[in-house]
Each structure stands twice: as structure tokens, then as C-alpha cells.
Structure 1
């Protein structure tokens, strides 16, 4: 019987108050996040994590002192294992980039499992050099160290995957149904990136826009008012826009209710449960927005899990390597940082 290891990549999050600062250090010490050479990057990461830790700790206090991301990801991994029972012996693992279980721990666990094949499945529907590429780079480094050499199939991105799109569309329509104060505007809010990252060929923004457009089409609501925007800006660099807070203020000026869909997040964590649910809701109230509804993330919704399972099956039918879920390179030529192979 074939043994298949499925590895779910995610960002990770602090699990208790005293892990907030080391989590932030790991984040900012990643060269995909701060592109400075060491030891300068190390020193900058120490400085930023020290300054941001108290603010971040307050954010996580709203979540009971730690991030819910790991238990949410465990639920997704368990559901995915069940959905892939037809493949033979399947075991799902979780590799977090910046907090436990971290990549090096997971690589050793997969090595001990001794699979015949490995599937790497980022829980980032849209590819970015700052997320998927960083996780892949770390995985390859750690796998090389321990001699993990099983054939490895990689789902590079799935921004237009049918089950993912239908799951988000259904959740968004359900949120819209809660609005009684007039016709709402949908904000498809994604985590932002510095503009220079996109200008260097990162396809993330293009893929986010593809996802949002597909969700709108799947919702099939006449004359839907919607916009893609970006949240979580940090630092002095110019970021891609429009920003979510700008769009919330504009909605207040226009007097329209808001439904905020976290289009690039598939698990609940601080950006959805605190930044959107608490901080943006407060901004909406201050700005005169007549109603504000947050759309939940797909989580372990059966539509989304079956979509992930299909991506796994499809990528296993192709040669080892990195593929989009559609089996070809999705991104236009100007996005040279896209890593997916051509079909």
C-alpha cells in the first residue's frame, strides 16, 4: 500500500503570551520578509519584534492569549486525511513557518513516517514569495539536511479552485443576507504586500484579484458592489492598495453597509478575529458605516476540504514538482516570480 504524507504549510502563531516575541522575531528574520543580509537582518528583527511584542500581545489577549491558527489547521488536516482515504495510507502533517510545529520538526516527523511520496500543500490559495516560496525554501533546506528524498509533489497555488471559490461565495452570500440596512458593498480584504515586492514579479496581487472575481461570479448577485483591498500594513514602505481602512472610510462617506470577506485567509487568526472583527468594526462605527459583517474563513468547510483533496489528487497525477491546481502556469509573463511549472 502506498504511503502518502500530506504536509500543510501555514504561517503559525504564538500559542501563549511568552511566545509572541520569538514568533515575531522568526517572522521578521525571514529574508523573504526583510531582505537585508545578516547580521543586519538579525538586528533589525530583534528591534522590530521587541517594539511590536507589547502591541501584539494585547491583540492575542483578545484570543485568549494565543493564536487559534494551529487548532484550526489541525481540524483541516484531519478532515483532509479523511477525504483522501481512497489514496491508501495517508497521514497529514502541519509545518508552520514561524512557530511550532516548525518546518524542521515536521521534516523529521515525515522522515520517521517513511512515505513513498510527499505532497506539500500551502494553505495560501494565492502564491507569494513571502509565503509559499518562503515555506518551500525552508522545507527544501531542512529535507536536504536529514536526507528526506521521497518524490515530492507541490500544489503551488489554487486561486481559482472551484471548491474554494464556491465555499467563499456561499459564506459571503450568507453574510450578505444578514444586512438589513440597504444594499451592501463587499470588501474582499487580503493581507497586503510592499509595492516593490509585486513590482519585482510577485503574482500575489494578480491572483487575489482572480480569486475575488471568481467569487463574485459564483455569487451571481446582480449589480454587486465590490472592491479588492489590502490590510495589515506595517513599516514605512509603500504597500499595494487600496487599503482596507481607506475603503471602510469611503463606505462611511457613501453610507453603505459593509460585508468584509478575508479572501486570502482560509483559517481564523488574529487578522480575521481581531483586525477585521474588532479593529475594522470599530473603524466602521466611527466612520458612519450603517452595518458591518465579517465573513468567516472556509476552515474545514466540506467544499473547501474537497477542493484541497482534489488538488492533492491532481498534483499526484503529474510528475514531481510544483504545479498550480489547474496543471499549468496561471500567471501572465510579467510575474516572473511565479514558480509553477508549465503544463
Structure 2
């Protein structure tokens, strides 16, 4: 055999045969300072799935105004709910914990490796897919941690993962977890969480708000199923608890910019309820897997203040499922179902 036709040397110790599970949440800044916040907001607000406006229209606003003013404002908000003990956002704390607990829960599956990532910020999706690949995962289950599907959340996680695969010669096989807004385990966990929290109060709410993150109305008009998924979650939760439509209502929060978003708006509803004489309300956030800025600062903080300022007396915020036993049962149920045919020892 001539030198030019010699067989290439084999790669030393190539790992393969394992299955990765990658839990992915929205993201988090590395700190509450201006630079960290600006870096995070820039990555988030340049995502075409999040802001669908023309770049010619949006970028002058983003780079001329938003990224010069919002980092300080949002940084102050994060300061109020920052996990000082670990010097990180609670979203990072909970997502890491969910991955660690998932590793324990799937201990009977000998070939599964669990990791976690953020769509915006660190650890990045690309870095963790690469790490799983290096650990021998030639199949990866990608789990966007959003019960209700939206292009601005679930789809952009999937986009980023497939974008990572574009640069890889040896790609792992990739499965994406579908929405689980109507999964019985999820509905049961929400019902248990609400019931348990209300049992700790010495008063009963007249109205319970299920506050979901909003999306622009135009996204729904273009065919995004998010609104329908939110309404179905609330309908199933209502049915499970035996509540009327007046007792448990759906609202949408966190709107941004001049566009019309899904309605009714959470802040306006809270204000109206108080002004109409409702004295006791509770708010829960079924669309958030983990407590974060939008639940801790916007709801537990701002919404409570709005309610009391307008005549309300009792306000309760129901924590997200986070890394609770019920919350982990939901995630594990979904993961085991989606791993069928891949994980060794799964029946």
C-alpha cells in the first residue's frame, strides 16, 4: 500500500452510545450590572423570533434607545429578586437543580446523561450540546421548558439547537419535546400546588388569576398556537378544581413596546378587580416552569402593590412548580415518555 493510499488513523477513544437530556430555559444575565444586563438584553432582543419587526425599523430603536436605557432599569429589578447567596438569578438556581434532580430520577436508565442550558446567556445551548456529544451522547432529547408552545420560546430553542448541529460533522440525532400544556401530570401538579398554597392562607381568594406571559396579538393572528394552549391549560385546571370561569380567570403579562398584545392584561385586570371592590385575590403563573423576574418582581412585587394601591386587601402569589416534587414529577413524566426507544431500561 502506498503512503498516499494508507488508511487514516482511527480517532482515539471516541465516546458514543449514550443519550443526552438537555433542559433549556429562557435565560439569565450573569449579573445585575449594566454590562451584564446589556449583553443579555442584546442577545434576547436581537432574536428574530422574539421581535419580528423589520431590522431596519427595530435596530435603530434597540441600539439607539433600548440598550442604553433598559439595562439599568432591568438590572434594578433583578437586584430585588437576585439569589444573593449564590450570586445568580433564581432561574439559574432552579434550572440547575432541576437537572440535578432529573439525573437522580433517571438513575435506573444506565445510558442517560442530563444537562441544562439557557437560550440566552450562559451556559449556552451550543456549549452543552458539544459537552453532551463529548460525553458520548449520539442522541439528544432537547427539552424547552415551556408547557405552552410559542414561536418566541419553544421554537427559538429548537432553532438554536439545530443551528449548532449545522456546524458539526458528526451530528447527534435530535428529538425535541412537544408542548405539554394539557398533560394530566402537569394539570395535577398545578392543582396540587394551588390547593396547598391556598391552605396556608387564613383567607380565601375571591378570584384566582392564571397569569401567562403574553405575546403580541399579531403573532397569534399569524398562527401561533400559544393563546389556545394557555386557554386549554386554564380550562383543564378549572375542571380539575371544580372552579367557575369567574373564579379562575386567564390574563397575560409582560407586554413590551407599542403593539397590542394578548388580552386581558394582568396589570389592568388586577387594578380593575381592586377598583370594582374585590378584596382578596391570588395569582399563579402556570406558563413558567421556574420562578423568575416575571413572577417574583412583576407579580409578587408590582401586581401586589397595584392591587393594594387600588383598594385590594389580600394578595397571594402562588410560587411556580420550580424543583418541587410535583414539578419534577411533571418533567420526569415528559422525559420518560419522549425517551421511549432510546433509553436502556425504559419500559
Q: Secondary structure at the match of 1:87?
A: coil
- Decide which of 31, 53, 61 is 2:79's aligned counterpart: 61
What's the CA shift for 1:183?
4.4
Query: Aligned in 2, Cα 1:290/1:181: closer, same or farther, shift over 3 Å?
Result: farther
- Residues 276-328 of structure 1 deviation map (CA, whole Å, 9 limit, x = unaligned): 11111100111111210000110112222222222222222269xxxxxxxxx
Equivalent residue number for residue 197 of structure 2:
175
Equivalent residue number for residue 327 of structure 1:
none
What's the CA shift for 1:194?
0.4
Equivalent residue number for residue 26 of structure 2:
11
Structure 1 Cα separation of the partners of residues 198 and 206 of structure 2:
7
Indicate the larger mover: 298-307 or 286-295: 298-307
- Decide which of 105, 130, 141 is 2:127's aligned counterpart: 105
Would you say 1:199 and 2:214 are equivalent positions?
no
Would you say 1:243 and 2:258 are equivalent positions?
no
- Decide which of 299, 307, 330 is 1:284's aligned counterpart: 307
Would you say 1:304 and 2:330 are equivalent positions?
no
Structure 2 Cα separation of the partners of residues 44 and 114 of structure 1:
44
Contact 1:9–1:120 under 8 Å retained in 2: yes
Would you say 1:45 and 2:62 are equivalent positions?
yes
What's the CA shift for 1:264?
0.4
Q: What's the Cα RMSD here?
A: 2.1
What's the CA shift for 1:36?
4.0
Structure 1 Cα separation of the partners of residues 336 and 287 of structure 2:
23
- The structure 1 segments of at least 4 consecutive aligned residues displaced by more than 6 Å after TM superposition are none
TM-score normalised per structure 1: 0.87
Structure 2 Cα separation of the partners of residues 131 and 6 of structure 1:
18
Report how many aligned residue pairs link the two structures.
319
What's the CA shift for 1:256?
3.6
Would you say 1:95 and 2:112 are equivalent positions?
no
Equivalent residue number for residue 188 of structure 1:
210
What's the CA shift for 1:58?
0.8
Equivalent residue number for residue 34 of structure 1:
51
Would you say 1:22 and 2:44 are equivalent positions?
no
Structure 1 Cα separation of the partners of residues 170 and 123 of structure 2:
18
Contact 1:5–1:118 under 8 Å retained in 2: yes
Structure 2 Cα separation of the partners of residues 49 and 67 of structure 1:
20
- Residues 121-163 of structure 1 deviation map (CA, whole Å, 9 limit, x = unaligned): 1110111000010110111011221235222221121001222
Q: Secondary structure at the match of 1:105?
A: helix
Contact 2:138–2:171 under 8 Å retained in 1: no
Structure index of larger Rg: 2
Q: Secondary structure at the match of 1:58?
A: helix
Contact 2:205–2:282 under 8 Å retained in 1: no
TM-score normalised per structure 2: 0.86
Equivalent residue number for residue 6 of structure 2:
none
- Decide which of 265, 270, 295 is 2:318's aligned counterpart: 295
Contact 1:179–1:291 under 8 Å retained in 2: no
Structure 1 Cα separation of the partners of residues 268 and 106 of structure 2:
42
Would you say 1:254 and 2:272 are equivalent positions?
no
Equivalent residue number for residue 172 of structure 2:
150
